[in-house]
Structure 1
Amino acid sequence: MGLLALAEVERGARARLPAPIWDFIAGGSGEERTLAANLTQFGHYALRPRVLVDVSVCDPSVTLLGSPLRTPIGVAPMAYHRLVDPEGETATARAAGRTGTLLVAGIFASRSLEEIAAAATGPLWLQLYWLRRREVLAGLVERAEAAGYLALVLTVDAPRVGRRLRDLRNGFAVPSGVRAVNLDPELMAASHRGGAGASGIEDHAREQFDPALTWSDLAWLRARTRLPLVLKGILTAEDARLAAEHGADAVVVSNHGGRQLDGALTSLAALPEVVDALPPDFPVLFDGGVRTGTDIAVALALGARAVLVGRPVLWGLAVGGEDGAAEVLDLLGTELTHAMALLGRPRLRDLDRGALGAAAFAPPLTSRHPTGTTGGRTGLQR
């Protein structure tokens, strides 16, 4: 593609995908205020470059829960990659392996855990939602361990799915040719229904997600696996401390890409308090609104060990399959290294809060999140 900026691949993906699928991927909850703020929050930080530093070699590599990565970048867990490419998650797995990035496969993947693992050449984690049927969770954990997955990522911010108005207006349902193949079809039936004023995704979550989950339940999962446990969806210092106390090995600061509680803290605003609440060696990951390598540098400077990227990977997959997804990940890694050089911080450990200035400027809304956030099909021109 000769990709120069993610906005280019975003436009290409929107042009290629049917409107309801684009809205499912691009949309947020409610009036999409948090979705928009995730993007603009990066503009509130100024960068403080140092000069006359040897930046002839910049090293963005990192080790995360024992796995070496070429860059501190991972693919966030997302459902149904086959909505945008026939190969789905196996193409994404190959792209992540080619670029030295982490892949977090989703519980609602449209390729089997074993197929994804066979395609992967880099570190692979599995994301879970807490289902009402615990035996299903236990079975997925066993399969993940047998297939070589290296960690479990439990999403903890979804006792129910946020009101995603685009999906409700579209009556969105997962197309019949795409399904969550790692779960029994009976468990997923509601996701294929949809209909006027309804969302198959929301109906399915209401039926299958356990809203009674509490901190004490984590002991059940801990007792069934030797894999590291990562909690995704932490936005407060209080919950960060509880995560560590209840045996989590890492956390992901995330507001679910603006798809859960509209008006929630942006992930970037929450990141410093979460980092400060945990021991220095406790891994904190980040997702939410990353669109450039400079965004990644800001998150790292605020204390993230690595960032997860979601929608842009699906854009790349939609436009160019495996190659398109790999180009998106390569571009972000290249931009990060470029930013490190211009900042005069050639190693990741040099990226600390001293690299950031006080609130500087918020880019105009139209520059990063074009106008209209009402949740309608054409409300967000992205």
Structure 2
Amino acid sequence: MPPKKHSTLMMIIQQWRNNNAERSRMTTPQAVAHCDEITKNMTEHQGGTYSSQAKSADVAARAKREPMYRCGPAISAVERQERERAEKQMQMKLAIERILRDGREQHDLENTKFVFAAFNYFVKNNESIYIPAEFAACLYSLKSGKTSTYSSLINPNRLICGRYSAAQDHTESTHQLPLPPYAMGESDMSRLYSNILEYLRSCQSDNPHGPLVVFTSTELMPVVKGCFRYLAFACDMDMEEVEKQQIHVYDIQYLFYVLKIEVMGMSHLRSNAINKCITDTLFEYDYFEYHSGISCQYHEDRDRSKYCTQSMVARWSYLFSDYMCGDLAIKPLIGKHLPPKQEPKFTVE
């Protein structure tokens, strides 16, 4: 909102009040009534002096006003948000590198376990909440490949008022799951969230007191965070409980990059030619996208495997294996490192 302009009358009232302590206790209507007669008896020169003071006060007020970003929030607020976002990004990268460093120092990087997770959603509720439609997660390591999978369709029972059209547009162009109240799957959000937490804890049995960490694609990070937030709030959990059981969502594409560097270092291979642009391109190319038999039956029947979360986490596992297992001379196993109907691209004697 722009600052209020200073009028000639208000400048006269301000000076009139400053000259007498008794007058300063008057209300504005009372002061206006007294000063109105004064302004009528003023000469043009005297009125011009107060008019100039009012204009100077307007200029000073505009100079004090903080510059805005594209007619929106203040630039300082935008810059602060950017700094906080960059700091969170750096903390996430350091956490991923710490996980890999611990595995390397224990000479057990090939057995380090990662949980890959993905959500489909019906509609975006607001800036940070997504209403979930489907969830899948799998446990993966380079040595054993994809060893377990948890997946569930989700029925949130209802959508927020006024968002049905947006939900219909999104679902028809992606996963094509039926909208609430005809959605399929688990409708008890408390039970669903408890099952997810139980599965994630079982995946981290080696470190039962450590934080729960899942990896997802850069594009899906806000979706996964928003869906977990929706489930936590749907369970009527207070903020203290939400913080206690917080699920950390990390970027799988950064993991893909730094893990490749670590694997090549272990194998004494030159990694100078590897950069994140290359690994991101390989990850986004997704050449296991059209393999059959790796998605849920619903999406398999409708030829929408590309958008199935169960298929997504499986494809990520196969991509990691295809890109790195050869460097460590790990023999690929069908169904764990490769799709059920895929022949290995390399052999290990």
TM-score by length of 1: 0.22
Question: Which structure is higher in helix share?
Answer: 2
TM-score by length of 2: 0.24
Answer 1 or 2: higher relative contact order, Cα 8 Å, separation at least 6: 1
Is the radius of gyration larger for structure 1 or structure 2? 2
